Structure 1
């Protein structure tokens, strides 16, 4: 669910695609975070929660716009893993008209293998699983889709990617897209970077997330303490968020709970048998987590925007008067952590035995426990404050290799 970004930049700035990666550049200012807008709050629709921090265009290049694939692989100890032959599906609303082109630019910049329609690696379909007609474009959701596609590429560069675009940001359309994604041959994991408030109708839609042999992940949200659906469904792995930074420890990285990550006790979803925390009688969110803080966010390439590109477009984006991006951006939100975890499931190659989000609970030794940070005030405190063992904002922790998945 949750998208946040930093630094819309002019396409073509920075090193040429494939150039050696350098350390992310320091930023000289801290501009305000602006909302993204994938469906206005209060519209009654499901939405991805976009937030962005704009920065000087000169910093917007593949090696200074956030965490790169090599960073994520190192932080989560995923070196030497391979998901070849497996497909990760992304479910979002509306069309990203530049999805394939922008995906190609991202992968080329980091020396990842091409993933195109022509070579069979990439496929984009509507909520019925058909190549056409595609839904109308929405530049807020297009930014979300670029983030999702790039995170699958970063974590599992040999995986195939299926992008399923729902006709609208509502439960009916997105549920149909979920079913189409899970029914597609080769799909082992489905990521959902969107959500909405729990109500009396959401439990009725839960079966759309119950697909044996397919690991389904859902973002926990990026508005701090509080529960969203479908993260609260017992059939998904609810993915919270962290701040991820380099450190001089044995791991080389440190993580704390991100203040924007969603968490809490569901109001209407029953507690699954594999959850045993005592402070919530119903389903608790989250299960696991990964990087989500936009201040320590990931590099993404996106050029789908409502202003046509160019310097004037950058200005409109900077003032929140246009949607989308114009090149390299640094993004965050649990929109990043959900596709990361879905891709780790694909790398693990174990989803044939998975029917829910229960697997990490039996393999906590293969997770990095996150023990500090908070996303709000609550009682009992573990629902909003990280600590040893299980907690709401980060769940059981973050990937330490693929053993937890």
Structure 2
């Protein structure tokens, strides 16, 4: 999850021996679109965000998704679908009681979006027996026409597809609002002001309960942009969207990053040789979502405990200490781990492409079908879906859940479970930077670990009766 003020185009990694079986698709269904006028970006426009899924797509263009056992036999690789994730995160007992996110709205913010998102979601839903939903698309400002030959646009379209399909997979009854922003390819043009303006507008209009951000920029790239070490005023000037959401009790989630304990410099190519974390995940107003590696069978049963995502190729779960934010009050109970600084992530879900998620897309005519993808931008919309279930169960927005999350983790016991499942193996060392190891309790590789969705939703919503 890195950033650049220049025209950095995230790469996609093709899976060796992949079979390019292209699926035929019909014309995309009409998506409800509402244009929203955006104010001009501030004169001090900042670092340009990139999607956290960049570099984590296994390009197959398969005609249909394979089972996990077939993926293992054919590609020596795991692959999972939404029904397996629902089983792994134990959400069926909630669905059986009508807790499916109904009456709640997840807002997904992505640059450019995808012109085929409604059609692609419907294909995805049909494959996995999910109920269809109408994606409401809002264009924030001037969003250019989609160009499938533009790699920046197709990277964000892949991110959009992942975000929408897996938020819906975990909360099939929730409304999905996709806010598209018009980040261009022009040198020096930035994307964060538009995104923060869009979130501020969502807060003002009350159009969402949860905001899911599968994107970010390394904290120190803001100091690079300011041309002064330790100068983070450019970052701090962008917090207004998060503050507006917080004031309206909107939960904001953000991916903790996909480069382990470090990340890229402003050029988008060179990795820092020191520990780094990304913003907005590092913001105390945001719940930072990290990544795990799941080992599931075809039905979604765990074959072994979850580990911290680290594929050993420079791709690993982001986590560490903020240089910008002091330790917030909700982390006082883990001050022995965090010291005086904000630590991320707070919680983790599936992110490893080695045990990746099937998505369907048709935004690129030259590459249509089913692909496998991962990254903390998979974990983030999935957790957004789980929070939507909790919002529905509670009967109201839960807002910034960090204080409640830490209280639940610190107070649970075998006799008083709250659905926090510790992750105790793996680390996020990568790119020659020593990271953090998973330990019992809170750590900076997985946060508090992961969740049992059923028990977590019950506890977060205060619904012992479920």
Measured against the shorter chain, the TM-score band is 0.7 to 0.9
2:90 corresponding residue in structure 1 = 77
Is it true that 1:337 corresponds to 2:382 in the alignment?
no
Write the mapping of 1:353-372 to structure 2, written as runs, cut at 5 A: 353-364=398-409, 365-372=418-425
The structure 1 residue matched to 2:289, chosen from 224, 233, 239, is 239
Write the mapping of 1:60-139 to structure 2, written as runs, cut at 5 A: 61=65, 63=67, 66-81=79-94, 82-116=100-134, 122-127=135-140, 134-137=143-146, 138-139=153-154
In structure 2, how many angstroms separate the alpha carbons of the residues matched to 1:58 and 1:223? 27
The structure 1 residue matched to 2:439, chosen from 384, 387, 393, is 387
The answer on whether the counterparts of 1:243 and 1:296 sit within 8 Å (CA) in structure 2 is yes
CA change 1:9–1:220 in 2 (3 A) is: farther
2:225 corresponding residue in structure 1 = none
1:8: Cα distance to partner? 8.1
CA change 1:8–1:240 in 2 (3 A) is: farther
Write the mapping of 1:42-61 to structure 2, written as runs, cut at 5 A: 44-49=47-52, 50-52=54-56, 54=58, 61=65
How does the TM-score come out when normalised to structure 1? 0.78
2:236 corresponding residue in structure 1 = 203
Write the mapping of 1:185-264 to structure 2, written as runs, cut at 5 A: 185=206, 187-198=208-219, 199=222, 200=232, 201-210=234-243, 211=245, 212-225=248-261, 226-246=276-296, 254-259=305-310, 260-264=316-320
The answer on whether the counterparts of 1:363 and 1:403 sit within 8 Å (CA) in structure 2 is no
- State the structure with more CA Rg: 2
Is it true that 1:156 corresponds to 2:171 in the alignment?
yes
1:358 aligns to what SS in structure 2?
helix
CA change 1:352–1:368 in 2 (3 A) is: same
In structure 1, how many angstroms separate the alpha carbons of the residues matched to 2:448 and 2:21? 39
Cα RMSD over matched residues? Answer: 2.9
The answer on whether the counterparts of 2:213 and 2:253 sit within 8 Å (CA) in structure 1 is yes
2:349 aligns to what SS in structure 1?
strand
1:203: Cα distance to partner? 2.1
The answer on whether the counterparts of 1:257 and 1:375 sit within 8 Å (CA) in structure 2 is yes
Structure having the larger proportion of residues in helix: 2
1:63: Cα distance to partner? 4.4
Which of 172-181 and 215-224 deviates more? Answer: 172-181
CA change 1:125–1:291 in 2 (3 A) is: same
In structure 1, how many angstroms separate the alpha carbons of the residues matched to 2:426 and 2:193? 36
Return 5+ residue gaps in structure 1 as ranges.
Answer: 14-42, 117-121, 310-324
